[in-house]
Structures are given as structure tokens and as C-alpha cells.
Amino acid sequence: MLTKIGDKWTIFVVLSLDLLGGRARFSELERAVPGISQRMLSSTLKNLERDGMVIREVFPEVPPRVEYEMTELGRRLLHPTQGLVDWAKENWEQVREAQSRYDER
């Protein structure tokens, strides 16, 4: 469970989707999450959809358009996730210093 959140991209996708207003199409997310591949974005979204965190909506147009929208359940994940991000921001520097000290020995 926590392992799912801990995979490489889920947190970034969730946060990006939120930043984009809770709703975005595939290509927007692709641009919003630097470094993610189509393969991993697709896979991550599929998992989020399966877990009920995101709803996938297909518009039968040409060219195709697909939008992803966060559900209430997904939005609830935002707070603990943001807590983690904040923690990282606030303590990153101290961690780096600890690592430097450790590595010098």
C-alpha cells in the first residue's frame, strides 16, 4: 500500500495533477512531470485509476483527447503527500550535511 505511493512517479503525478487544477490531459501531465516517460505516465495513471484516485475520461475526437481528474479519494492523499514534501524541503539541507560528515570518515 505505502509501497505503491513509494514508487518512483506516483507522488509527482498526483502533485502535478493537483497543480494543474485537479484535471489535465495526458500531454499536460507529461510536460508537468519532467523526465517521466510515456510508458511510466501511462502505467502510473492506470494504477491511480484502478485505486480510485483518478477518473479517466475519453473524448471521442480526432485527435484523441483524454482527461484525468482527481477524485475526492485522490485529493485526500494530497495532505499527507504534501506533508512529506514539506518535510523534505525543510530538512534537506540538514540531511545533506549529515551525509557529508558521514562520508568524510
Partner DNA sequence: CTGTATCCCCGAGGATACTG
Partner DNA sequence: CAGTATCCTCGGGGATACAG
Residues near its own copies, by CB under 8 A: 1-3, 5-8, 11, 49-53, 73, 76-77, 79-81, 83-88, 90-92, 94-95, 97-99, 101-103
For cell 570518515, name the residue.
Answer: 105
Q: Which is nearer to its own copies, 2 or 62 (CB)?
A: 2
Partners of residue 70 on adjacent β-strands:
54
Cβ of residue 4: shortest distance to its own copies, in angstroms? 9
Cβ of residue 10: shortest distance to its own copies, in angstroms? 9
Cβ of residue 57: shortest distance to DNA, in angstroms? 9
**What's the Cα-to-Cα distance from 95 to each of 26, 34, 60, 89, 100, rounded to whole Å?**
35, 24, 49, 10, 9
For cell 518512483, name the residue.
Answer: 8
Q: Which is nearer to DNA, 2 or 90 (CB)?
A: 2
| 61 phi-psi bin (left φ>0, alpha ψ -120 to 50, beta other) | beta
- Return d(Cα 97, Cα 77) in angstroms, integer: 30
Interface contacts to DNA, rule CB under 7 A: 7-9, 25-28, 30, 35-40, 42-43, 45-46, 56, 63-66
Residue 31 binds: one of its own copies, DNA, none (C-beta under 5 to 8 A by kind): none
